[in-house]
Amino acid sequence: MLSRSMKEVVANSSAIRAMFEEGKRLAGLFGAENVYDYSLGNPNVDPPEEIRTAALRILAEENPVHLHGYMVNAGYPDVRAKIAGKLNERHGVSFSENNILMTVGAAGAINVAFKTILDPGDEVVVFAPFFGEYRWYAKNFGADIKIIPMDKESFQPDVAAFEGALSNRVKAVVINSPNNPCGAVYPEETIRALADVLNGWRVKTGRTVYLVSDEPYREIVYDGASVPYVTKLYKNTFVAYSYSKSLSLPGERIGYLAVPSEMDGYEEIWPALTNANRILGYVNSPSMFQRVVAACADVTVDVSVYGENRDVLCASLTGMGYELIKPKGAFYLFPKSPVEDDAAFCDTAKKFRLLIVPGRAFGAPGYFRIAYCVKKETVMNSLNGFEEAIKAFA
């Protein structure tokens, strides 16, 4: 009864669903506090108190028909202008309300951009390790992903391999920094190198390849790492942003797509994006939370909790013999699996009530992901399990 596309999705989603079921089973057997669930990027840091305060005030003061009503598909103009102004202050860009499309999270933002530029048969380049959903987002529009293998030394994009992968089928490339699943932050020189390749390709072939910069973790960085603003380095960039992680609001589905006016084809792309937001069934980004995030434009969650988890995990796991690169951002750690078969390792880890995800889900077999957006006590109580798990393969 299923469409062919959903048959493929369901067949490939079974591993993560099985982990979810296994987590529930283990919680039933041992108690939820004795299961160390590192499987999902669901922030456990409280949203800032300003969110609640703003929501209460907005509900009390604003006209409810306007507050909960339709607006133009791009979102409330004043909200978009406020966000544009903040980006201009922080990053020295020159955005107005006509460069900010409010979306249903970053997932909605990427799908709207893909719908606008992708035709069936096109390719979207991604760099391993990558967020596995990009595959399905591309397939939603009949396009395929082309994976550039992981640089195991640096976790940075392999720009030379990228240049070799360009073809007339390639319409877009996705980057994600700070990265899910490895926590790498791409420095300005990496973005410049990518931009040089893309500009060279445009001169040589007359074709524009768009960059989609997926940035839900922009605000979650450590050790003073800075995340370059990509539109300043390559004008043909869509920035997909979400408040899911920066304000711990993932369930509210609130984010935006930033689209510079200098982009090739902006005049036809902008109205197409607003139409795509409508016909993909989003219609608009949820209305009340548009106003809430605009009222909290200077606020972010307390990142120090994640930083402490990172420090404890990196030091402890390294001491146990795990090989890893200390992440500069996001709340993911991506150690090398002690055995080549990352799925077998994650299976064994379950015996110690550790729920972690095999690297193959991110295009990087032989590694595993720890989503450390959990309580500190979860981290502390889980350490013994990591020790037992590596010993099991010694």
- In angstroms, the CA 288 to CA 274 distance is 19
Is 137 one of the binding residues for its own copies (CB under 8 A)?
yes
Any residues with CB less than 8 A from the CB of 49 and at least 6 apart, and which? none
Tokens in use for 181?
């699943």
How many residues would you count in the chain? Answer: 394
Is 65 one of the binding residues for its own copies (CB under 8 A)?
yes
**Please, which of residues 219-258 interact with its own copies by CB under 8 A?**
248-253
Rank residues 66 and 152 by Cβ distance to its own copies and give the closer one. Answer: 66
Is 107 one of the binding residues for its own copies (CB under 8 A)?
yes
Rank residues 47 and 228 by Cβ distance to its own copies and give the closer one. Answer: 47
**Please, which of residues 333-392 interact with its own copies by CB under 8 A?**
none
Rank residues 111 and 156 by Cβ distance to its own copies and give the closer one. Answer: 111
Question: How far is C-alpha 118 from the geometric centre of its chain's CA atoms?
Answer: 20
Which of 91-99, 152-160, 270-278, 335-343 is the region at the interface with its own copies (rule: CB under 8 A)?
270-278
Given candidates 83, 101, 117, 374, which one binds its own copies under the rule CB under 8 A?
Answer: 117
- In angstroms, the CA 323 to CA 335 distance is 6
**Min CB(147)–its own copies separation in Å:** 18
Is 300 one of the binding residues for its own copies (CB under 8 A)?
no
Rank residues 217 and 282 by Cβ distance to its own copies and give the closer one. Answer: 282
Any residues with CB less than 8 A from the CB of 362 and at least 6 apart, and which? 128, 129, 130, 131, 132, 180, 181, 334, 369
> What is the contact mask toward its own copies in residues 139 to 178, using x (rule: CB under 8 A)?
-xxx------------------------------------
CB 372, CB 333: distance < 8 Å: yes
Rank residues 94 and 140 by Cβ distance to its own copies and give the closer one. Answer: 140
Rank residues 137 and 334 by Cβ distance to its own copies and give the closer one. Answer: 137
Helices 342-351 and 4-30: angle between axes, nearest 10 degrees: 30
Q: Please report the DSSP string for 279-316 in residue order.
A: HTT--SS-HHHHHHHHHTTT----THHHHHHHHHHHHH
Rank residues 2 and 394 by Cβ distance to its own copies and give the closer one. Answer: 2
Given candidates 28, 29, 34, 69, which one binds its own copies under the rule CB under 8 A?
Answer: 69
Is 271 one of the binding residues for its own copies (CB under 8 A)?
yes
Structure-token match 């064994």, residue found: 348
Q: Please report the DSSP string for 351-381 in residue order.
A: HTTEE-EEGGGGT-TTBEEEE--S-HHHHHH
Helix (H, G, I), strand (E, B) or coil at 144: strand
Which of 8-16, 91-99, 338-346, 349-357 is the region at the interface with its own copies (rule: CB under 8 A)?
8-16
> What is the contact mask toward its own copies in residues 9 to 48, using x (rule: CB under 8 A)?
xx--x---x----------------------x-xxxxxx-
Given candidates 18, 25, 29, 68, which one binds its own copies under the rule CB under 8 A?
Answer: 68
Is 110 one of the binding residues for its own copies (CB under 8 A)?
yes
Count, residues near its own copies per rule CB under 8 A: 77
Is 316 one of the binding residues for its own copies (CB under 8 A)?
no
Is 201 one of the binding residues for its own copies (CB under 8 A)?
no
Rank residues 76 and 155 by Cβ distance to its own copies and give the closer one. Answer: 76
Is 283 one of the binding residues for its own copies (CB under 8 A)?
yes
Rank residues 71 and 165 by Cβ distance to its own copies and give the closer one. Answer: 71
Rank residues 193 and 212 by Cβ distance to its own copies and give the closer one. Answer: 212
**Min CB(77)–its own copies separation in Å:** 12
Any residues with CB less than 8 A from the CB of 111 and at least 6 apart, and which? 137, 140, 280
- In angstroms, the CA 73 to CA 68 distance is 14
Given candidates 181, 228, 286, 335, which one binds its own copies under the rule CB under 8 A?
Answer: 286
Given candidates 27, 93, 147, 280, which one binds its own copies under the rule CB under 8 A?
Answer: 280
Q: Spell out the alpha helix ranges (H) of the chain.
A: 4-30, 49-61, 64-67, 77-91, 105-117, 133-139, 159-165, 188-205, 266-279, 287-295, 304-320, 342-351, 376-391
Residue type, position 311, single letter = D
